[in-house]
Amino acid sequence: MQLSNNKILITGGASGIGKGLTERFLQKGNTVIVCGRRVEVLEALQQEFPEVITFNCDLSLETERIRLYEWIATNHPDTNVLINNAGIQQWTQPGMEDFWQKAKVEMATNMEAPLHLIHLFMDHRALNVIINTTSGLSFCPLTKVPVYSATKAFFHSLTLSVRHLMKERGVEVIELIPPAINTDLGGKGLHDEAPPVSALMDAVFQQLESGKNELTFGFSERMAKATPDDLKATFEMMNNR
Ligand SMILES: NC(=O)c1ccc[n+]([C@@H]2O[C@H](COP(=O)([O-])OP(=O)(O)OC[C@H]3O[C@@H](n4cnc5c(N)ncnc54)[C@H](OP(=O)(O)O)[C@@H]3O)[C@@H](O)[C@H]2O)c1
């Protein structure tokens, strides 16, 4: 993709990895639109980057996804990049009392939302790039986050199909595959030991500049290239320690 002069919608672009993308794409001369549920986090982003355009919505709800798309179509018809980055991570197990309630929201946020947004954006003529944020766990599940891992495997598979299907239309489909990164994903403190967002962004923009469509870093680089035996060994190592 060309790295400047785009109008980019970044879901979940006000914190963590999304905020890293917002900052770098602004530096490169793009217009950035960010959505998220927490008004105070969107306001803080706008304090830091007054040129950012924000939209408050909850993408786990179908009506809200339609409201976002219609707002974009009316007010920002020149939006040409959709970044499906918003996601949540629930540390839960099937035996827990609130498991199903949590799983439903996690599946709605991590699978239904990007799937529905991609479908809605098929009516959007300006669209020429989709970036999907999956995970190293798309390839090998961490059983502490069983539903999360499964949603990311779904999203990885969907990304491969959409990339193939969009070729004729000329829409480039890029997969951003982060490893564990120090953000508040899943709750504050859970990812404190992981590399910072800035290190991931350095790797991501280097790979974007070289024209790659699978953007990896550290552990996710190994997972994306792993053999079945590597995946088995990694599963044992991650889940039996
Ligand atoms: N950090 C990691 O270790 C890691 C590793 C691999 C993949 N990832 C993926 O990277 C993406 C970004 O995660 P992150 O680590 O940067 O964590 P994060 O800081 O918690 O970012 C998630 C973003 O998604 C937004 N969001 C969540 N639910 C939403 C909803 N229903 N509607 C609208 N926005 C919603 C959040 O904003 P609000 O809460 O304000 O809505 C937040 O800005 C996720 O897809 C995650 O799965 C992260």
| pTM for the predicted model, two decimal places | 0.98
> Helix, strand or coil for residue 179?
coil
In the annotation, is 148 catalytic? Answer: yes
* Structural domain boundaries in the chain: 7-239
| CA 12 to centroid of ligand 1, rounded, Å | 6
The one catalytic residue in 55, 148, 155, 219 is 148
Q: Which CATH architecture has domain 7-239?
A: 3-Layer(aba) Sandwich (3.40)
pLDDT digits 0-9 by tens, 158-169: 999 999 999 999
pLDDT digits 0-9 by tens, 180-199: 999 999 999 999 999 999 99
pLDDT digits 0-9 by tens, 103-153: 999 999 999 999 999 999 999 999 999 999 999 999 999 999 999 999 999
Closest CA to 16 of 88, 110, 77: 88
Q: Which two tokens stand for residue 60?
A: 């786990």
**What are the angstrom distances between the C-alpha of 144 and each of 87, 94, 107, 161?**
17, 11, 16, 28
pLDDT band at 75 (very low <50, low <70, confident <90, very high): very high
φ and ψ at 85, to 5 degrees? -115, -25
Nearest-CA residue for atom 45 of ligand 1: 87
Q: How far apart are CA 161 and CA 153, in angstroms?
A: 13
* pLDDT of 241: 73
| DSSP assigned state of 195 | P
Place of tokens 């980055």: 85
Q: Which runs of E-coded beta strand occur in 28-179? A: 31-36, 53-56, 81-84, 129-133, 172-176
